[in-house]
Structure 1
Amino acid sequence: MAAHTTTQMQLQQNSYYKTHNRTQHPYRRMYKHAHAHAHARTQTQHATAKQRALVVVHASNAEEDRILADLERLRKENDELASIVIGSEGEESKTLRQAAEAGAKAAAAAKQQLASVQPEAEQQPSVESFLGGKDVNNVNNAAIKAEALPTQNSAVNNSTAVTADSNNATADSAPDSAAKPATTGINFPPPPATKHPSMTGMPAKNLEVAEKPRAIVFVASEAAPFSKTGGLGDVAGALPRALAARGHRVMVVSPRYQRGEGLDEAIGEANDTGVVANLVLGTSGAHDVRFFHTYKGDVDWVFADHLSFQRPGTLYGDEHGTYGDNQFRFALLSLAACEAALTLPLPDSSPDFPTYGEDVVFIANDWHASLVPIYIASKYRPHGVFMRARSLLVIHNLMHQGIEPSTTFETLGVPGDWYPAVDFVFPEHMRAHELDKGECVNLLKGAIATCDRIVTVSTGFAWEITTPEGGFMLDHMLRSRQFQLGGVTNGIDEDEWNPADDPDIEAGYDDKDMSGKATCKAALQRELGLPEDQYVPLVGFIGRLDPQKGPDLVRDSLDFLVRSLGCQVVVLGSGLSEFEEWMRWAETEYPSHFRGHVGFSVQRAHRITAGVDILLMPSRFEPCGLNQLYAMRYGTVPVVHATGGLRDTVEDYNPFARGGTLGSGTGWTFAPPSNEALQSAMQTAVMTYREHPDAWKEIMRRGMRMDHGWREAARQYEQIVEWTLMDPPYA
């Protein structure tokens, strides 16, 4: 298959960019069969008697006589109709005649039923009740679909060939207009517009369908379950599925990592598309990137394959630190994502429009994908490509900005006049020496300057990053774009994190019967070698062992928690060696009250979340945080520092609310992030646990009953996408 290049000269000469101005036609899979039947009706009026009976249920009394007359005429002309639909006589014609007679009887029964009931939709009997429980859509369904659905040409070399083949297939598949039977004048009910069938991992209850389905391309350095090291992978794995469930056509582009940690075997299930993009990145030259693809959960998962992604260690580094070529690796990813939307044929999600085309919305996540809006503004739009495309920047962690020496700008493939967009100068007190000018390339700054909208993973974090204390030297830029800045709180996968059906915990439970919670606590105490005691508060900490997560506050307050409050404490995490050494020391100092596990295990994280009574999260800053959501889902009470998403999602307990009976709130928050504030919050929480068990159980239940899923977050992202499309391009 021909490779596709992105040099400026080739962009000017490529006929695709000159002649093609693809319009937005996202394909809604949930209407696939309904549209196919509508097409067949308008072309050949291939309607069976049972389908006519369906209309009687919804028709008014004034139309029933006419419909019954149509049904009688259809019965008499049954042989002719059968020859049109199935192209044969004999036994099949006899079967269709019998179906017509059954339909006439069903219509008469429907008329009698309608005369005796109210016309409201909720009181009308279903058509299945008239047809003996049979599916009215099964009659000649295969024949109708075979004629109505266009054939797809799977062998394509480029986007131009894909467009031509698709159009030809659609034209060839249209039935001969001379074969149309006489119209019956019967209008079938339109397809449903408010519900979507259930998809894998996403419940369908109360799930609305978007009024205007869009083509959306996620770009992320990791996406669960294929690759994951933290919350970014969770979001990139769950949010696209939630948007696809609302009817959008969604693609996720991430690297095809190999031999590294944090990978899932599912990444090997992706198939080689045969499409190779020849990407030119400035002075670093041309590089071939091959695309792999799999279709799951109504989402196109696309993986960019390059040698730089095939190395041992974690996704971003090894035991010696982060990889020195990370900027180059993720520049390839960003440019490959732009090319995937233009050239990659993906008929699984849209047989009629295999490529996503130019009318797309890119959602770039963190600095790893920050070059996407920069490339769109500097490389594509000057040549008339992606003129109607828009880009969203999602900031998960502002501390990591993709900062490299200024000399690396020439290797990005960005035109030289766009250097001010990524130029960043450190203040004098942060420079290495007197001759250091402090100049560098900051990819996240460039994305802030060129993207159309900015989204953070919580509303609290959206405000914090505009302050000097939380802006990491980009607060002035973010304040200048405050009218395009907003926050959407992350959700969690409620199927994976479900205490009622979790294979990794000792016993299941829910908010109505929480007896399994005590069983999980006893099992965890046995697993850790701690004394089994239901009356001793068991406190957990799960997270990276670095200053952001506040493990030093846990370390400095451990003696107070153990000796003054009598708590048992368990810590799960890895990171700085000084904290790992402290965990080993603490086990010998408090043998019956402390256990630490260096490393991370998803199964153990589930058992700790279900078994502990209190989850402690003293993060100094937390853009969103997921562990507190997992904890509340499992009836574990969070005690958190009031920052970012922690403040947004944990309601501080108020014992005097609701008449002073059971209070309100789902946990405790404290500020500032100090030992004194943490110890005060923990003392109040432990006192409530011991002295007010009924109030404690209500706190647990309120947390378990909260909506922690992605449905509301997907709706908010959808609204932001619509706002973005209404505005002209920002750059």
Structure 2
Amino acid sequence: MNIVWATSEAAPYAKTGGLADVSYSLPYALAENGHNVSVFMPYYPQVMGEKCADTELVYDLLGVPLGDGNEQWARIRQHKINENLSFYFIECDRYFDRPKLYDWGGSEYSDNAERFIFLSRAIMQAVLALDIEADVLHANDWHTALCNVYLKSHLYDSFDNFANTKSVMTIHNIGYQGVFNKSNLYWTGLGWDYFNFQCLEFYDQMNFLKAGVLTADIVTTVSPTYAEEILSREYGFGLQNSLQHRAVQGKLRGILNGIDIHEWNPETDELIPENYSLTELAGKAVCKAALQEEFGLDVKADVPVYGVVSRLADQKGLDVFIECIDEMLKEDNVQFVVVGSGEQWQEEALSNYSRIYPGKFGCYIGYSNKLAHMVEAGADFFVMPSRYEPCGLNQMYSMRYGTIPIVRSTGGLEDTVNNYSASNINKATGFKFYDLYPDALRGTMRWAGLIYHHDKAAIEKMATNGMKIDFSWHHTAVEYEELYQHAKSRF
């Protein structure tokens, strides 16, 4: 199949979150399976840095209609990965030559609606310019959701390139929807007949994600449980009715993301002090000691280390973590390491813990890929108390490294972690809790610590159970192949 993948970011070119990881790894896996995949994204010269040198100009003067008869001009750059996979970059400095992708100084760019209307329209124009006959148009999150609207609109439904195209809309995080003032409809080139409850209209504003959800042939999310959760008011963020409509039609599905098993591999990882494997685990103890030393903790092999690598944001539940660990630090024989940044009050609270409890608590405010790998390899437990988690990657990284996850049962965390019990020890890979309260999280961490101190065999069994699971993108790619074929045959 000829697959057009539309995204606002992809690693290693530009990344703010999991969308970027998916937008490289899944197209790569699909290409390995023999499909022709063209990934379209913006060209961010200030963000991409040295990666700009990997691109070459393949199309000059791409006309992109914007507004009422106006036209912006762009160029198309390409980085060809292999015969089946190419990344195409929409170059337009007016919209994308900026220091960050979506915001600056804590505020979103005031012209984000115009920027990403332009991106969606430019992708459609680029497909025509490069003469790609698309079997599948796969849009991701709100930034490219309008591609699905354009595909079904009078502006593109007469082109042969799109004559047999089926559209897929993937929601990576429904908390971000692209809601803007309705005056921005002007930039789309679409008429006011598209501003209705079955398309763009959302409480008298424009909602890009809603429009993509309601016009796509199939809607997906990044885990099966998250696909169920977003049908509720609690997790639907106002789109639950639209999603229930697609679910009743049989057009909503959750497919679990994979992870990069080459980057995250304890046998070959160059960022950890000692490599180890499922059959030779001795190196993990070396990694633990190095982690303790790195964070200024007492180097003790018999103390459980709880690790966190996370954005310090409401979604991640770190406010509850911060509230509940003070009692453990005072009373328990435990250690914590945290790598993360985000809300200022959380950064300050974590920094205070490192001053109050030297030797037991260490943190790094910011993000360090090396430290992230060291935490995954050196910690005994990895804590993820998320309020909601569409998929989550760190729990899968942790299991691959023999580090036992402690998670709230939500979204992809529910789908990937098998809860511990004495009767389930042959399948157990971690510890789960359900209610996001300090007592629940603290009790679960203490439960894990109790097993750590008194049942080493169970801890080792859980660690090796996790290391045996294949979280590669191969499985995800096969499921999407089946989904694409289903769309082509049914709709």
TM class by shorter-chain length? over 0.9
Distance 1:408 1:485, change over 3 A: same
Which residue matches 1:556? 323
The answer to whether structure 1 residue 370 and structure 2 residue 133 are counterparts is: no
1:652 to 402, 415, 419: 419
Flag structure 2 segments of 5+ consecutive residues without an equivalent: none
Contact 1:279/1:335, CA 8 A, preserved across alignment: yes
In the alignment, structure 1 residue 595 sits paired with structure 2 residue 362: yes
Q: Which runs of 5+ in 1 are unaligned?
A: 1-213, 345-354, 427-438
1:631 positional shift: 0.6
Matched position secondary structure for 1:441 = strand
Q: Does 1:458 align with 2:208?
A: no
Deviations 1:450-509 (A, max 9, x none): 110001000000000111111111111111111100011000010011100011000000
Separation (CA, whole Å) in 1 of partners of 2:166 and 2:116: 20
Aligned partners of 1:510 and 1:309: how far apart in 2?
46
Paired residues in the alignment total 486
Distance 2:414 2:94 in 1: 39
Q: TM-score, normalised by structure 2?
A: 0.96
Q: Distance in 1 between the 2:354 and 2:415 partners?
A: 34
Q: 1:372 to 1:365 in 2, by over 3 A?
A: same
The answer to whether the 8 Å contact 2:10/2:21 transfers is: yes
Distance change in 2, residues 1:411/1:500 (3 Å): same
- Which has more strand, going by share of residues? 2
Cα deviation code 1:505-560 (max 9, x no counterpart): 00000111111001001011111111100111111111111111011111101113
Equivalent in the alignment of 1:53: none
Match of 1:270 in 2: 55
Q: Match for 1:249 among 36, 40, 44?
A: 36
Decide whether the 8 Å contact of 1:316 with 1:326 is kept in 2. Answer: yes
Deviation readout 1:225-244 (Å, 9 max, x if unpaired): 11111100000010001001
2:256 touches 2:391 (CA, 8 Å); kept in 1? yes
Whether 1:637 and 2:404 are equivalent positions in the alignment is: yes
**How far off is 1:376 after superposition?**
0.8
Q: CA deviation at 1:324?
A: 1.3
Residue number in structure 2 paired with 1:577:
344
1:329-368 correspondence to structure 2 within 5 Å: 329-344=115-130, 355-357=131-133, 359-368=134-143
Identity of aligned residues (%): 36
Q: CA deviation at 1:265?
A: 2.6
Tell me by how many angstroms 1:312 deviates: 4.1
Letter in 2 for 1:288: W
> What CA deviation, in whole Å up to 9, does each residue of 1:361-381 have, x standing for no partner?
111000011010011111444
Aligned equivalents of 2:341, 2:221: Cα separation in 1: 26
Aligned match of 1:4: none
What is residue 228 of structure 1 aligned with on the other side?
15
Q: Where do residues 437-452 of structure 1 align in structure 2 (5 Å cutoff)?
A: 439-452=204-217
1:334 partner letter: S
2:176 matches 1:400 = yes
Match of 2:86 among 278, 300, 315: 300
Deviations 1:231-278 (A, max 9, x none): 000000100010011110001001110113xx4632321101133311
Deviations 1:102-158 (A, max 9, x none): xxxxxxxxxxxxxxxxxxxxxxxxxxxxxxxxxxxxxxxxxxxxxxxxxxxxxxxxx
Distance 1:665 1:284, change over 3 A: farther
Within 5 Å, give how 1:401-550 maps onto structure 2: 401-420=177-196, 421-426=198-203, 439-482=204-247, 483-550=250-317
Change (3 A) 1:384 1:485: same
Residues 193-213 of structure 1, C-alpha deviations (whole Å, 9 max, x = no match): xxxxxxxxxxxxxxxxxxxxx
SS at match of 1:333: helix
Partner of 2:433: 670
Deviation at 1:422, TM superposition (A): 4.0
Of structures 1 and 2, the one scoring higher in RCO (CA 8 A, sep 6+) is: 2
Q: Does 1:694 align with 2:480?
A: no
Hey, what's the Cα distance between the residues in 2 that align with 1:700 and 1:718? Answer: 32
1:590-642 CA distances to partner (integer Å, 9 max, x unpaired)?
A: 11211121111111111111111110000000000001011111111000000
Is 1:682 matched up with 2:467? no
Q: Please, what is the CA RMSD of the aligned residues?
A: 1.5
Given candidates 617, 634, 642, the residue that maps to 2:384 is: 617
Code of the residue aligned with 2:432 in structure 1: it is: T
Tell me, in whole angstroms, the C-alpha distance in 2 between the residues paired with 1:531 and 1:336.
Answer: 55
AA partner of residue 566 (structure 1)? N
Is 1:281–2:72 an aligned residue pair? no
SS of the aligned residue for 2:337 comes to strand
Report if the CA contact (8 A) 1:521-1:611 is conserved. Answer: yes
CA distance in 2 between partners of 1:693 and 1:308 (Å): 59
1:371 maps to a residue whose letter is: L
Question: 8 Å contact 2:260–2:473 — kept in the other structure?
Answer: yes
Q: Which amino acid is 2:444 matched to?
A: A
Which protein shows a greater Rg? 1
State the 1:580 CA deviation. 1.1
Distance 2:202 2:451 in 1: 51
Deviation digits for residues 399-458 of structure 1 (CA, Å, limit 9, x no counterpart): 1100001111111222332121444444xxxxxxxxxxxx21001111111110001000
Q: 1:695 to 1:337 in 2, by over 3 A?
A: same
Inter-partner Cα distance in structure 2 for 1:495 and 1:267: 24
> Where do 4+ consecutive residues of structure 1 move more than 6 Å?
none
Matched to 2:229, the amino acid is E
Describe how 1:45-444 pairs up with structure 2 within 5 A.
214-260=1-47, 263=48, 265-283=50-68, 285-297=70-82, 298-344=84-130, 355-357=131-133, 359-385=134-160, 386-420=162-196, 421-426=198-203, 439-444=204-209
Aligned equivalents of 1:299 and 1:722: distance in 2? 19
State the 1:395 CA deviation. Answer: 0.4
CA contact (8 A) 1:652 1:668 kept: yes
